[in-house]
Amino acid sequence: RIRYEASLETFDAYRAMFLDPRHKGNELGITEEQVRSIRTPSLLIHGREDKVVPPEVSWTMLHLLQDADLHVFARCGHWTQIERAAEFNELVADFLRG
């Protein structure tokens, strides 16, 4: 809960970092076509109970990326690498090993 409240304080700064005013309605400043063109194998990791970035964002990316896997941790919020550290590290290590 403390981490979530802290994230709310920095949300505007986070948005400002990614907001590209040239792309109205597209806060990451990248088009769907540009995402679809990415061919690099990708691992998406999300916490099911994430209240900062909804899990639907990862589902959208999963469908746009050509070569992506998605792992959703149950009983986990925004900081998967902290909240489920051992499992997160194993998952990433396995992905990097190919």
Catalytic residues: 78
Query: What end-to-end distance do the CA atoms of the chain give, in Å?
Result: 35
Give the tokens for residue 77.
Answer: 């919020």
Close Cβ partners of 29 (under 8 Å, ≥ 6 residues apart): 18, 19, 20, 22, 23
